[in-house]
Amino acid sequence: MSRLGHEVLAAVLQVRSRSLQVLLWQRAREPQVGTWALPGGRLGAVEDVESSVRRQLAEKVDVRQLSHVEQLAVFSAPDRTPGPRVLATAFLGLVPSDADPEIPEDTRWFPIDDLPKTAFDHRAIVLRARDRLRSKLSYTNLGFALAPPTFTVSELREVYSAALGHRVSATNLQRVLTRRGQLEATGQTAVSGPTGGRPAALFRFTCRDMFITDPFAVLRPPAVRS
């Protein structure tokens, strides 16, 4: 009987240039050489899956600025990779929008809405990670993991809009997050822009550990009027 292989993969997401993007690296060997893949690799004999994925992100693509990591799903279709069967434990990882990790030359950020040709079932994993993130932004405080430490409401609106895939009202977002106890004013203001005007207030998340704020909430796209 052939031995079952086990790999760990990370869908690392970040809001960059006003779009939700994923980190991919280009395969340098067969099978599917030249396609873009999620970072990861084989599970070590003496490590658990989360330790393994954190190690491999640090070693292979030099990503250490993760603000949140959680197990996404196990992908175990018998034919998900050619050759001997390999199951994958996939993780969702988030990087705050103000971070800019130095990544190797064979690694790039790609907008999730414009993915290149990906290896194996990695596209499905990326989309599962996107959907998990969007779901949790509705009923948890997970926005803290995408946002910088301090921000204006307009800046936070851009982060949520990119992650959710639809335009978010800054006023409604502030009202909802404040009502849930997620936001607090820092007492400081942002630097005025070149056009001047009243400086915008700076806010921060009250907690930078994930917790459920409203188990039945959904941040839906605005209704389209006929």
Cα gap 45→220, rounded to integer Å: 44
Task: Express each pLDDT in 57-109 by its tens digit.
Answer: 998 888 988 999 999 999 999 999 998 899 999 999 999 999 999 999 999 99
On whether the CB atoms of residues 12 and 95 are closer than 8 A, the answer is yes
Tell me how long the chain is. 226
Q: Is residue 222 part of a domain?
A: no
Task: Express each pLDDT in 157-167 by its tens digit.
Answer: 999 999 999 99
pTM of the shown model: 0.92
Residues 55 and 89 in one domain: yes
Residues 72 and 54 in one domain: yes
On whether the CB atoms of residues 160 and 173 are closer than 8 A, the answer is yes
Residues 61 and 101 in one domain: yes
The CATH number linked to 174 is 1.10.10.10
SS3 call for 212: strand
Residues 122 and 174 in one domain: no
Structure tokens at 21: 């993007």
Residue in the block written with tokens 């204006």: 152
Residues 186 and 78 in one domain: no
The burial of 174, by beta-carbon neighbours within 10 Å (0-12 exposed, 13-18 middle, 19 or more buried), is given as middle
User: Which structural domain range is residue 23 located in?
Assistant: 5-132
Q: Is residue 213 part of a domain?
A: no
Number of domains into which the chain is organized: 2
| Nearby residues of 99 by Cβ (< 8 Å), 6 or more positions away | 14, 65
- In this prediction, residue 195 has a pLDDT band, given cuts at 50, 70 and 90, of low
Q: Is residue 47 part of a domain?
A: yes
Structure tokens at 114: 């414009």
Q: Is residue 154 part of a domain?
A: yes
In whole angstroms, what separates CA 42 from the centre of its chain? 22
